[in-house]
A and B are shown apart, each in its own frame.
Chain A
Amino acid sequence: MKRREHGVNLDDGVSLATPDELRLLFVDCQPKARADLQGWFATDDPAPILFGGQIGSGKTTLLNEIASRCPDVACIRICFDTDPIEPTDAGFTMLLMGQVLQACLRAKIDPDGSGIVLSDFPSIAADSWSAFVDIIATYPSNLKTVRRLREACSVIAEASSLMRNACGVLLDKLASKTGRGPFIIAEGIDKFDPDTSDYFSLRDTLVFLAHRKTLFEVNAVHLFSEKDFRPGIKKLFIGGIKQDVLYKMFQKRLGAYAPLYRKAFPLLSEYSGGNARQALRLLNAYYFQRTRYRKDHTAALALACHQVSGDLLNVPFGKFPVEVFTVVKKDGYIEGSLFSERGTARGANEAIYRNWLFLQDEPALDAPTKWPAAINPLIDQAITWSTPTPLTPEETAVKAWAREHGVSPAGLNIPVNEDGKPAWNDFWREIDASTTSEEDALSIVKLLEQIGAGLFGIERQDRIIVSYRERKNLEAVRDFLVGKANTYAFFPCEEITLQGGEGHEPVTELLVRIADRDPNRIYSVELTGSWTDSQLRDMEHRRDAFDNLQMLWWIQQDALKKYLRFWPQLRQFFRIYRLEEELWRGITVEEIQADIELISDIAEEKDPEGVRRLRSVLTFLQEKGREP
């Protein structure tokens, strides 16, 4: 993403990737893990490694930073989340094959004799290895090629084990030619919930890779399932980030303006629970409340917590692990065995996978089974504990402000029972019943304020979900937002409607439509129809395909409630807003006319997109004005 050389660089916690981003914003949050990873890259020891941390802990950024320092290392990066043509055993195997073949061709190794034969894949119709690799190693930009690849997948499905063996032969050839075994980075395993069928489909490929020098990017929960990879596999865990390091991160993100917001650093870092993305999202939300609405420090903190927990956490999942929560609160650690014992495994894994609990560090040597852990502070804040942790005056003020203004500082309200203990079941029912409260619904003017920094910005792209009760005139809303954006810079808009349900391929269609990845384009995506579980899961895995794109997703609110259960990863990159019924409040015909005039004056082309969009809004408003 393009960043400001001077000043403020906020976002919703996307990973840093480009040399400029890393130079400007990277903070060494995990020096020990970084040194261990660098050591792993530096040695010829072929042992694989599981590199794990919770969602938003900074794994991908750290990997990108280390990879940027080792440009000469022969590295095969395979993105199992974003790049497979389908989330099946054959899809993952084909992805592996494509990347291995590509590395071989780069090293001028002839793949003939490996066991893969071009004529096995008539649908690809390639007359050379390089043409074959061109087609299978990058995500296609049209549906015709997708179908050809799917046909190829059906060939692989018959013999995926043989195909993986052929990859092994090619990797051996590569090692003997270069004199050093290739490094494989298996990215995006962390996006797979271990309880899903997609993860099950991936397992044979993981086991194959675990016999090579492979780094697996996994979620913390995968660290407790080494059997999915290789017994005794080395593990590297990254836990909570220390307070002073988070301060450095805030400082970098705010640039020269940091002193204006320094007062908030202690509580923002505390409420982040040491999680990088949660910290950045809190900072973003706090900054927004201070600058746009001039809320005072206390109010801005309470509202920031409310927004962030609503976006990241406010959705029920599987079995709520009451006992695990109670024990973690009391003891400050979680027994590693809880992740594999029958009665507790599902709840404990889900709580970690969805960041309701944070694992803070690896167990100490004298207590090797006890993982230091804490309840996510945004949830902990909402609980009235019978023996409360003493609060600072500032924390007390934030809680008091939230109470007085009918806002839970956590965006969640956890009731207490007669004994003064959290009534977990009531709480669970409460969040199951609603996603956001009526008070959180916005008019278009308010929505525009909330999303303006990304929508109008060249240096920032955000992903926004707009939910609505009734569809009515969503076209006019979209045209208004796109038209307004065009008064700040020229932003074309790509309109995409994705029909879910049996017989449709909405995720594939989306990936094809965004293949050009234009950072200046607004991708307006409407989700319609009844999406199947597998389509929703597939969308969840593709999260990283959407980073650095400006996206507006439109989803009916009841449908969204269902979808969010499938999207603990995807929602990390989105902010969620709901349109109120009286959504056109505050918009005048005169304002639209002035914007049309402005865009017409500065546009170099005839009939620019911004003008067309706003003209249709004008017509809509005029017709609306004539309604009785």
Chain B
Amino acid sequence: MTEEKRRYAIVWDAIERMAFRPVRPKTWLSLYENTLPRLWGLQDGDVKTRINSGFDADFLNISCEYSIEGMGKYSGTISMLADASRAIWTIHVDPDFISKSALYNAAERYPRKDRKRHLRGDIQAVLKGMLFHPRHHSHLEDLGVTTTLMETINHGVDQVRIGGAIENAYVFLYHLRYQFCIVSDCARQEEQNRLIDLFTTAISENSHTVPANKLFNFKR
């Protein structure tokens, strides 16, 4: 493993540990649902949610359902709003079986000597693979999803990537939140920068957790 990849592994593990292993899952999920409209440029309450189990993205004509038994055991389904009975994409994650990524644990501290030079870039690269552009993904467009927003947004649904092989339930949900933010390129970029800043600070300060209210930009 190269030095760079080792650093990525440390950062990946640190981000998951700090932000995506909530001690209070109900609080994490409630904040997740309550703050979806804000990221998507909608009014509070505009997104229909089903307490800790799903939400609708009307502007994409889709509905998402999820069921979380534990951080590594969950299922998620995306259906068309008009026909909720037929799933267009689905995932089941079962920790009773091994995967290559589950075999390695990089629970180390990020090397102090690299903080100044590499930390921010490393976090950027990791968040890209984790949330912004997952390595394994399906394009929403290929699943038959279209939107009438095409004329007002710079990118289309081809930029919406549903990640596969995401083993952490909370990472999975968070990446949906980011991917469905199609209101503008600027809003996406701002969210990217906010998360990079948030985790750069957290790792620099050796934080144990990133509280859910900070993760979701829950305003005081």
The chain A residues found within 8 Å of chain B, CB to CB, are 4-8, 10, 255-260, 291-292, 449, 452-453, 456-460, 487-490, 594, 597-598, 601-602, 604
Contact = CB atoms under 8 A, between A and B. Distances in A.
Given A458-B219, A602-B27, A256 B46 contact: no
Interface stretch (B34-42, B156-164, B167-175, B193-201): B34-42
Contact of B43 (A449, A460, A487, A601): A460
Contact of B184 (A8, A256, A459, A604): A256
A452 B37 CA distance: 12
B193 to A, nearest CB: 14
Given A258-B152, A602-B218, A487 B183 contact: no
B89 interface: no
Contact of A602 (B48, B58, B211): B211
B42 A449 contact: no
Question: Which 5 pairs, one residue from A and one from B, show the smallest C-beta to C-beta distance?
Answer: A7-B41, A452-B45, A456-B44, A601-B27, A453-B43
B31 interface: yes
Contacts of A460: 43-44
Contacts of A6: 41, 183-184, 186-187
Given A458-B219, A598-B27, A256 B183 contact: yes
Interface residues of B, number: 35
19 contacts: A5-B186, A7-B40, A7-B187, A8-B42, A256-B152, A256-B182, A256-B184, A257-B42, A259-B149, A453-B43, A456-B44, A457-B44, A458-B38, A458-B44, A459-B43, A488-B44, A598-B27, A602-B27, A602-B211
B73 to A, nearest CB: 23
A256 to B, nearest CB: 4
Given A6-B184, A8-B42, A453-B45, A257 B220 contact: no
Given A6-B41, A8-B41, A260-B148, 17 more contacts: A4-B41, A5-B186, A6-B186, A7-B187, A255-B152, A257-B42, A257-B149, A260-B58, A260-B59, A292-B45, A292-B46, A453-B44, A456-B44, A458-B219, A490-B219, A598-B31, A602-B211
Contacts, number: 97
Contact of A257 (B26, B27, B41, B187): B41
B48 to A, nearest CB: 8
B58 to A, nearest CB: 7
Contact of A256 (B26, B44, B149): B149
Contacts of A601: 24, 27, 212
B42 A7 contact: yes
Contacts of B213: 602
A604 B212 CA distance: 12
Contacts of B58: 260, 291
Contacts of B27: 597-598, 601-602
B41 A255 contact: yes
Nearest to B22: A601
Contacts of A456: 34, 44-45
Contacts of B38: 458
A290 to B, nearest CB: 9
Contacts of B149: 256-257, 259-260
A292 B42 CA distance: 12
Given A452-B45, A489-B218, A257 B183 contact: yes
B30 interface: yes
A352 to B, nearest CB: 33
B106 interface: no
